[in-house]
């Protein structure tokens, strides 16, 4: 979920479509969302599958509102933190 949400956030905020992730998913499409593949090819394939799942939820169950109901771990948010985009610390 976390990785799908990362690509989805870029799609919603910047309009970026993760073309490389989708290309690998469509080329191999042998992954499921319950197991994260290993190796470079399978990792990109997993990112594509996760993004498409987020897009499916967005299009079929309420847009950004449904996505905002999915919990994301604080540790994962901190892993993507930058100086310009700080994660709130309590």
DSSP 52-70: HHHHHHHHHTTTHHHHHTS
DSSP assigned state of 33: T
Q: Give the pLDDT confidence of 4-63 residue by residue, as tens digits.
A: 888 888 888 888 899 998 998 888 877 777 777 666 667 888 888 889 988 998 888 878
Burial of 69 (0-12, 13-18, 19+ CB in 10 A): exposed
Phi, psi of 89 (to 5 degrees): -115, 125
Output the pTM of the full model. 0.68
Encoding tokens for residue 90? 């309590």
Question: How many angstroms separate the CA atoms of 48 and 86, rounded?
Answer: 26
């Amino acid at each position: 979920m976390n990785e799908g949400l990362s690509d989805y956030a870029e799609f919603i905020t910047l309009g970026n479509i993760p073309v490389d992730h989708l290309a690998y998913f469509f080329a191999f499409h042998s992954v499921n969302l319950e197991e994260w593949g290993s190796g470079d090819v399978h990792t990109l394939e997993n990112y594509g599958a996760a993004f498409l799942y987020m897009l499916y939820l967005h299009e079929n169950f309420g847009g950004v509102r449904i996505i905002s109901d999915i919990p994301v771990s604080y540790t994962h948010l901190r892993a993507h933190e930058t100086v310009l985009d700080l994660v709130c610390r309590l």
